[in-house]
Structure 1
Amino acid sequence: MTDHLQPENWPAWATESVEIVEANPMWNLQAQEEIRQLRELLKQLNIHKFEHIGSTSIPGLPAKPIIDLMGEVQSWEDMDLIADQLNPVGWNYVPPELDGRDYRRFWVRVKDGKRAVHLHLMRPGEERWDRQIHFRDVLRQRPDLVEAYAALKAKLADENKDDREAYTAAKTDFILQVLDEGN
């Protein structure tokens, strides 16, 4: 039996290098289309609340070319039913023991062998839901922060090209500072 917790058994998209590209004005339209499809696929499971988050949701911000979406799910018990809907159209479930984040259930949509969309499913009342939206909304109003974040992301992507987790962790101080300023 294959041990999926071992990195040598992960698919290639799970260990892609960090690549930051110029902002694409089409990202928001792509996100809205993904949300439309998700609503259709998951409507019988009463999953209809979605948000476009992350760097691709902030106009003018260079980013990894991966659309980040959040969706609200009532129960973790629905993952098998969700998988029945999402797996056939290119979504891959990353189990919590691999993801390492108990507050969400994580899905990755792969297109042409690369990550194209992330779906962060969270239960109602999850604090990180509000924090993701708050961070996005503060940056949408503050071009100075977008500029600073773009410079930081470029530097960190260069320093952590082959370590996505280290890249993400290294952005934490900036994100917390923005969240504190925005309150």
Structure 2
Amino acid sequence: MENKHGKSEWPAWATETVEIAEPDARWLKKGSEEKERLTGLLSPLVVLQVEHIGSTSIPDLPAKPIIDLMGKVHSFDAIEDILSLLEPENWHYVPPHLDNRPWRRFFVKVKNNKRVAHLHLIREGDQRWTNQIQFRDRLIEDGELAKEYGELKVKLSQQYADDREKYTDAKGAFVARVLS
């Protein structure tokens, strides 16, 4: 998105490059803390459950140093109420027309103009919820599979450093193989 002077209107965090960091044992603690904070904040509304997912939830796995969390909701009807609770905590809402994933609602937590966490709200009953949990748990259980995934992530981060969407899409075949 550009303004009339050709300058980007996107915040810096929205256009960050894909960078994979060495595994960090602190990610599990940060994920647990963020999960507890979100559960306490959002469960009185409509969020039924919060899970730490993604590569930072898997011990010894290289990852983008961004804590991924997933929240289960009955519907997306309370998004405005959720946003009003998350905004003071430096969460930014990425609306579906920008996220290009109409099946979820997506929030990015920002600190020092960098992403530090993602929150993916998924409707109860959506198979994506189950798939995310199964993928995480399978990699936790199988160190060789996790190592293979880590190597793939490093390779793809170099290949698609400036294109987060292509980076994510390129992992699809591996994810599908793990889930099958």
Q: TM-score, normalised by structure 1?
A: 0.92
Instruction: Note the residue ranges of structure 2 that are not aligned, 5 or more in a row.
Output: none
Q: Amino acid of the residue matched to residue 84 of structure 2?
A: D
Share of identical aligned residues, percent?
Answer: 51
Query: How far apart, in 1, do the equivalents of 2:111 and 2:48 lie?
Result: 23
Q: Aligned-pair distance for 1:43?
A: 3.0
Q: Amino acid of the residue matched to residue 151 of structure 1?
A: E
How many residues matched?
Answer: 176
Which residues of 2 match residues 121-132 of structure 1 at below 5 A?
121-132=121-132
Q: Aligned-pair distance for 1:170?
A: 0.6
Query: How far apart, in 2, do the equivalents of 1:170 and 1:147 lie?
Result: 17
- Aligned position for 2:66: 66
Runs of 4 or more consecutive aligned structure 1 residues displaced over 4 Å after TM superposition: none
Query: How far apart, in 1, do the equivalents of 2:23 and 2:12 lie?
Result: 25
Instruction: Note the residue ranges of structure 1 that are not aligned, 5 or more in a row.
Output: none
Query: How far apart, in 1, do the equivalents of 2:166 and 2:112 lie?
Result: 25
Q: Aligned-pair distance for 1:102?
A: 1.4
Pair 1:172 & 2:172 matched: yes
- Aligned position for 2:29: 29
Q: Aligned-pair distance for 1:8?
A: 2.7
Which residues of 2 match residues 10-159 of structure 1 at below 5 A?
10-159=10-159
- Aligned position for 2:9: 9
Query: How far apart, in 1, do the equivalents of 2:69 and 2:140 lie?
Result: 16
More helix per residue: 1 or 2? 1
Q: Amino acid of the residue matched to residue 109 of structure 2?
A: R
SS of the residue corresponding to residue 77 of structure 2 reads: helix
Q: Aligned-pair distance for 1:44?
A: 2.3
SS of the residue corresponding to residue 9 of structure 1 reads: coil
SS of the residue corresponding to residue 60 of structure 1 reads: coil
1:42-64 CA-to-partner distances (Å, cap 9, x unmatched) read 13204240111111111110000
1:30-52 CA-to-partner distances (Å, cap 9, x unmatched) read 01111111122213204240111
